[in-house]
Structures are given as structure tokens and as C-alpha cells.
Structure 1
Amino acid sequence: MFLLPVVRPGRRVSLVGLRRRLGLVRAEVTVAEVGRDQAVAAAETVLLVLDPGSCLPETARDVEDLKIRLHGHVLELGATLSAGDPVLAAAQKLSLTPLPEGYLPSRVHLVELAKATGCLVRAVRNSGTVRPARKRPLLPRRDVVRLIVFAGALISIVLASSLPRLP
């Protein structure tokens, strides 16, 4: 279950601060994140916007980040539904409209987009066509690559020094 951090009423927290508190800012991907499905990730983002205990985004960049994130969820979940689905059409229409200027209109648009994404999540769960999230390719860490290059250089030096010299 996704739990939001406790923030005192009236206190503003930026989206970056929320990411830090939620532990979303990290360089490595854990096994739990790889196995998550798209509907759960979208539901968490919707909850981040619509939960009564969560703070409104403080800056215009935070609103833009959440809009981009919700638009990505609409695209990912939209691939699992049929193209003529009215819930999908409404969510796509809202996600493609640009953010209005001003503090209040942009937040209202964000809330409407989150509600449409929540309806899309429910539609995908009811259809039963949730795909697992894409797995990131397993790449070696930087230290391992350095060690391999060093070992290769050392082996080539030893081989070069052990060969007889040509006259």
C-alpha cells in the first residue's frame, strides 16, 4: 500500500521534497520496482495528486512534472485498451491539452487529469490486461568495468613482456 508522508497542514512541500520523503530519488532500481505493473504506478501518481492529505504542487515545474508523469501513464495504459474506449479517449484528450496559465487553472487541470487517469486505471483493471513494467537491462557497475579493463591491461603487459624479442 502506498502511504504519503505526514505533512503539517499549511506547510508547503515541493515535488522534489516529496520524492525524497517517499524514497523515489535513487540511482538503482530495486527488484520490487521491476515487478510492479503499470496500473499500480499510475494509481500511486493519481493518489499523489488527489489524496486529501497531500499538498498542492508548489511550483509550476512540479505541476508540469506531474502532468508529464500522468501523460506517460495514459500512454502506457492506453496501449492495453481498445482505441474506441470512451474512458481512454477522455484521458488522452485531457493529457494532450496544454496546461493553462495561472496558479489555480493549472492545478484544476492537473486534478481533472488525475481523475481521468484514475478512471483509466479502473478500466484497465476491469479489463484484466495489465502488462508488467519493462525491465531495465542489467548493466555492470562502474567499478566492475574498471577492474575488467585493468585486468585486461595487466594481462597484455605480462604477455608482451614474456614474448621473445625479434632481432
Structure 2
Amino acid sequence: MLDEESPLPETAADVEDLARRLRGHIDQLGVMVPNEEPALRHAQQLGSAGVPDGYVPSRVYLVQLAKATRELAATVGTCGQQRGRCRWTPRINVLRGTVFALALACLVLAASVPRT
């Protein structure tokens, strides 16, 4: 990530390379937090945008992308300390479907037992 004292990239190829690397970091960190996490959404939105043309706009974009990546990394660290908060929880329809499938399996099992 970019540090406060890091020199800005000089060429457009350097900018593209650094943006690609930051996007890779966002992808790697994104699997460690829930999809609903605001830091992840913000970082992904910035990462999906193209690098703007021009010297100043492209460097501003890189700084914003680096800050979003740093914020996402901090969120991953927070999730590691508060394990209960960042666990995946199934959506209500997944739970309903699971209960329905279990009930149907019990009904089929009960119907297949011979009566004496």
C-alpha cells in the first residue's frame, strides 16, 4: 500500500501496475470479511473503476485506492479479534429451505417404514 512518504509512480505503466496490485489485495482481503461490510463495498467500487487519465487524477485515484485497501485490512484485523461478528450467517431462505428439506426427508422416511 502507499505510505505517506512513498514516492508517487512516474509513468502510466507504474500507475496501472500499482492499481492492479492494490486490486489484488482487495480481492484477497475481501474473502475474509462479510459481503455486507461497508469497507469492502467501498474498496470494490474504487477497484472496479478504471484509472483516470492525467497525472494528478491518476495519482489521486491511487491514493484513494490505497486508503480503501488499508481500511479493508484494518477491518480484516478487527474481524480477526471479534470472531463472532464476522462469521457468515445464512440468509433466512437458506434456513427455510433446509428445514423444509429435513421435514420432507422425515416424512418420506416415516412413510417408508412398514406398519405392523
Between Structure 1 and Structure 2, how many residues are aligned? 81
Please list, as runs of the form range in 1=range in 2, the aligned pairs for 1:28-107 lying within 5 A after superposition: 46=1, 49-52=2-5, 54-107=6-59
- Inter-partner Cα distance in structure 2 for 1:71 and 1:50: 17
**Alpha-carbon shift at residue 55 of structure 1 (Å):** 1.1
**Could you state the TM-score of these two structures normalised by the residue count of structure 2?**
0.67
Q: Name the % identity.
A: 48
Q: Is 1:123 aligned with 2:83?
A: no
Please, what is the CA RMSD of the aligned residues? Answer: 1.1
**Which amino acid is the alignment partner of residue 116 of structure 1?**
A
Distance 1:122 1:56 in 2: 23
Give the Cα separation in 2 of the matches to 1:98 and 1:127.
29
Give a deviation string over 1:25-64, Cα, whole Å, max 9, x none.
xxxxxxxxxxxxxxxxxxxxx1xx2332x21101000010
Give the number of the structure whose residues are more often helix, by fraction.
2
The amino acid of 1:50's aligned partner reads: D
Q: List 4+ stretches of structure 1 deviating above 2 A.
A: none
Deviation by residue 1:120-150 (Cα, 9 ceiling, x = unmatched): 0000011118xxxxxxxxxxxxxxxxxxxxx
Q: In 1, Cα distance between the equivalents of 2:4 and 2:20?
A: 19
